[in-house]
């Protein structure tokens, strides 16, 4: 994958493509790709549409033709009745609502249709007295080639509101025939904790570009060992679409999502797993802008500019820290399939939201995360000029404290920057006052997918090789590479890794940012501080 400007896996020239030809897809918008696939596959007889066969009959508890998929009604291939006692839920994953003190969203999956799915929750593991009906969102993926079968997937969701701040809850998911409160299923009961009412010390973790692999699983277990209050996933979640342009062809395999959610469950069942959208998460089959699949699989805070069409854009506050998630597909120069799809609404919302958060008396830190890199020197993607042009002025204007990206499958971080220029060198172990000295940008894309490389040697804790300049490039509006000499590349590590951030409130609040390798070895650390009194 090294040297490929999009980091994609090329297909052999002889590979038959039922979906969108690669060169054509690179020139099409997501709505055009969606229409192409729907029209072509329908004509080929791979998809039968009929309201009469649109799903399981009402009353079964599960309806096909999800509003999160497509206006087309799809035939269900898994409508045969199955004894509910033989169907085990899997892939549990938590997410905060807009208010982490009082709102939690719980999602899970079942392999077959079930009757009356629900969530049980309570303050004791033996007393799950509150029962909430689950919402069902199903996805149908047709057989795109002889290699892959048609896939029907059933995702279930329950919203918990009115919770108590700083409280541990116990929950279980079930359906007719499978009751989590039954002693036989006691091992399936999970826990979560709401955000505290007042600021206190906590840890959060972050990475991007995970996929399904031994390395991804290893990172998950290391993350669990940090006891984080939440986890940020900066896009390119599972790689069911390895193309990265949104074009679903005969390599797209929806079943990879099943593997991913099963892999992630050991952490995500107790740690809110807050995702945003990468280029590999644009799945053209399900909806015009490619996010129908994301809407079916995740329930994220709905306080962004357009929750339905831009689900990866939202914000939440935990203690003294505000977190803002963005969808960089909207502004990317490198991969333009969804460029401008929000019509500027996302950027206007970002300006307004950052202003509100910075003015809030109880917020010390603002952390922003999204997929495409503002600053990276890898040979594969490097930096996206679209991100720089659209958002860097807003980050400086509102004094954002930390920016976290994925996209490049490495660890890299900058010195403190303002206007894209170094305002303070931040060697390993140094501290930076973001309000006065500039913003540190971190690429944390080593979550588990195949690694990229740098044009110069790595430089990390215990192996420091500082350079005054690194030769690199950034993507321009006309999709060309503009070369540059990066003075800002301070730490570089070619290996699987993730971020752990310890936040301390108080008279002089600080964030202790640590990068850990898959081995558990520390490869970088620095501190972001705020001066006494909020500025």
Q: Is residue 336 part of a domain?
A: yes
Along the 535 residues of the chain, how does pLDDT read in single tens digits?
Answer: 333 433 333 333 222 334 666 666 667 888 888 887 777 766 554 444 333 233 332 233 333 333 333 322 223 344 456 899 999 999 999 999 999 999 999 999 999 999 999 999 999 999 999 999 999 999 999 886 777 889 999 999 999 999 999 999 999 999 999 999 999 998 999 999 999 999 999 999 999 999 999 999 999 999 999 999 999 999 999 999 888 776 655 688 999 999 999 999 999 999 999 999 999 999 988 988 999 999 999 999 999 999 999 999 999 999 999 999 999 999 999 999 999 999 999 999 999 999 999 999 999 999 999 999 999 999 999 999 999 999 999 999 999 999 999 999 999 999 999 999 999 999 999 999 999 999 999 999 999 999 999 999 999 999 999 999 999 999 999 999 999 999 999 999 999 999 999 999 999 999 999 999 999 999 999 999 998 755 5
319 in Cβ contact with 202 (< 8 Å): yes
CA–CA dist 397, 495 (Å, integer): 34
The helix (run of H) or strand (run of E) holding residue 259 is: helix 255-268
CA–CA dist 507, 176 (Å, integer): 53
Terminal-to-terminal C-alpha distance of the chain: 44
Residue of 458, 457, 456, 416 whose CA lies nearest to 434: 416
Give the CA diameter of the chain: 67
CA–CA dist 159, 103 (Å, integer): 8
Q: Of how many residues is the chain composed?
A: 535
The per-residue pLDDT for 149 is 87
Q: Is residue 19 part of a domain?
A: no
Q: Which residue range(s) make up the domain with 220?
A: 203-235+313-529
Q: Is residue 329 part of a domain?
A: yes
102 in Cβ contact with 161 (< 8 Å): yes
99 in Cβ contact with 322 (< 8 Å): no
Q: Is residue 292 part of a domain?
A: no
CA angle in degrees (0–180, nearest 5) for 253-308-153: 30
Total domain count, the chain: 1
**Domain harbouring 325, CATH code:** 3.60.21.10
Give Cβ neighbours of residue 319 (< 8 Å, ≥ 6 apart).
195, 196, 198, 199, 200, 202, 503, 505
CA–CA dist 346, 354 (Å, integer): 12
112 in Cβ contact with 78 (< 8 Å): yes
Q: Is residue 499 part of a domain?
A: yes
Q: DSSP states of 319-387 as a string?
A: TTEEEEE--GGGT-SS-GGGTTTTTTHHHHHHHHHHHHHHH-TT--EEEEE-SS-SS---SSS-EEHHH
**Helices in 212-254 by DSSP H: which ranges?**
214-225
CA–CA dist 104, 160 (Å, integer): 5
Give whole-number Cα distances, 534 to 210, 234, 363, 435, in Å: 36, 28, 8, 10
The per-residue pLDDT for 21 is 63
Q: Is residue 230 part of a domain?
A: yes
CA–CA dist 155, 331 (Å, integer): 30
Q: Is residue 408 part of a domain?
A: yes
């Amino acid at each position: 994958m090294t040297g490929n400007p999009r980091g994609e896996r090329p297909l052999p020239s002889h590979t038959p493509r039922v979906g969108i030809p690669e060169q054509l897809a690179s020139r099409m918008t997501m709505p055009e790709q969606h229409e192409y696939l729907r029209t072509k596959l329908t004509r080929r007889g791979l998809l039968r549409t009929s309201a009469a066969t649109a799903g399981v009959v009402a009353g079964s508890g599960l309806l096909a033709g999800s509003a999160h998929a497509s206006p087309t009604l799809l035939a269900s291939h898994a409508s045969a009745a199955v004894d509910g006692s033989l169907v085990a839920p899997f892939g549990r994953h938590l997410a905060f609502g807009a208010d982490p003190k009082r709102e939690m969203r719980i999602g899970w999956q079942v392999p077959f249709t079930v009757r009356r799915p629900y969530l049980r929750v309570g303050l004791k593991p033996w007393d799950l007295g509150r029962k909430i009906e689950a919402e069902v969102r199903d996805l149908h993926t047709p057989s795109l080639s002889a290699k892959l079968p048609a896939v029907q997937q059933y995702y279930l969701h329950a919203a918990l509101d009115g919770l108590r701040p700083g409280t541990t809850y116990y929950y279980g998911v079930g359906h007719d025939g499978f009751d989590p409160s039954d002693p036989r299923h006691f091992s399936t009961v999970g826990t979560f904790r709401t955000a505290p009412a007042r600021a206190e010390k906590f840890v959060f973790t972050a990475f991007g570009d995970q996929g399904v692999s031994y390395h991804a699983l290893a990172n998950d277990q290391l993350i669990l060992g940090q006891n984080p209050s939440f986890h940020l996933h900066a896009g390119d979640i599972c790689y069911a679409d390895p193309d990265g342009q949104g074009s679903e062809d005969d390599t797209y395999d929806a079943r990879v999502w099943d593997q991913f959610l099963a892999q992630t469950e050991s952490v995500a069942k107790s740690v809110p797993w807050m995702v945003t959208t990468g280029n590999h998460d644009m799945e053209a089959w399900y909806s015009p802008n490619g996010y129908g699949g994301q809407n079916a699989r995740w329930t994220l805070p709905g306080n962004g500019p357009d929750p339905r069409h831009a689900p990866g854009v939202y914000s939440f506050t935990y203690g003294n820290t505000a977190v803002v998630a963005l969808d960089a597909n909207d502004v990317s120069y490198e991969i333009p399939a969804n460029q401008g799809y929000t019509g500027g609404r996302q950027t206007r919302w970002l300006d307004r939201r950052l202003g509100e958060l910075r003015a809030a008396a109880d917020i010390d830190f603002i952390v922003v995360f999204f997929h495409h890199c503002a600053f990276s020197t890898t040979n594969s993607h490097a930096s996206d000029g679209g991100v720089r042009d659209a958002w860097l002025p807003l980050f400086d204007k509102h004094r954002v404290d930390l920016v976290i990206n994925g996209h490049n499958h490495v660890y890299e971080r900058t010195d403190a920057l303002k206007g894209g220029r170094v305002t303070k060198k931040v060697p390993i172990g140094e501290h930076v006052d973001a309000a006065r000295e500039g913003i540190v940008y971190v690429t944390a894309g080593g979550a588990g997918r195949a690694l990229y490389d740098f044009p110069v040697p790595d430089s990390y804790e215990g192996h420091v090789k500082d350079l005054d300049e690194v030769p690199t490039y950034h993507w321009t509006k006309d999709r060309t590479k503009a070369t540059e000499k990066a003075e800002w590349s301070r730490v570089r590590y070619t290996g699987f890794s993730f971020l752990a951030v310890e936040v301390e409130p108080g008279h002089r609040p600080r964030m202790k940012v640590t990068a850990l390798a898959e081995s558990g070895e520390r490869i970088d650390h620095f501190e972001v501080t705020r001066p006494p009194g909020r500025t």
